[in-house]
């Protein structure tokens, strides 16, 4: 059961990692990071739902854009994987498991994740 919890946290972490890569790319260019749809930085084509699945879409597309076939930098894959692993590591260090899960622990975990997100985004500026 804990494996399922850690797998879920890993997947959520990869979603955050995908957001981090978007933010790291767009913030220095003063582009919107919330309302603008994700797009290929080479051909500017809006990415479809299946193109936005962290890690899996990168591997399925063999590291290339579905539309222009241009190579996608591996840093996107690496940051998504590291974010997923960091989410799991934090939960493991907090002794997060299905038996002791409670509201306070979940709130502490969420606060720590939001704090980490803030630090990542502010350090990039």
pLDDT tens for residues 76-118?
Answer: 899 999 999 999 999 999 888 888 788 888 898 999 888 888 8
Task: Give the span between the Cα atoms of 45 and 7, in whole angstroms.
Answer: 31
Full domain range(s) for residue 7 = 2-124
Q: What is the pLDDT of residues 45-61, one digit of tens each?
A: 999 999 999 999 999 99
- SS3 per residue for 28-89: HHCCCCCCCCCECCCCCCECCHHHHCCCHHHHHCCCECCCCCCECCHHHHHHHHHHHHHHHH
Q: Tell me how many domains the chain contains.
A: 1
pLDDT value, residue 1: 73
């Amino acid at each position: 059961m804990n494996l399922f919890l850690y797998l879920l946290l890993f997947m959520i972490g990869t979603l955050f990692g995908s957001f981090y890569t978007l933010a790291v790319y767009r913030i220095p260019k003063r582009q919107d990071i919330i309302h603008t749809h994700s797009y290929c930085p080479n051909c500017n084509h809006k990415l479809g739902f299946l193109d936005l699945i962290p890690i899996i879409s990168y591997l399925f597309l063999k590291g290339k854009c579905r539309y222009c076939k241009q190579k996608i930098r591996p840093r996107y894959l690496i940051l998504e994987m590291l974010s997923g692993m960091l989410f799991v590591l934090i939960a493991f260090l907090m002794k997060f498991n299905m038996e002791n899960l409670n509201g306070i622990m979940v709130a502490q975990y969420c606060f720590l994740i939001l704090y980490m997100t803030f630090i990542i985004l502010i350090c990039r500026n």
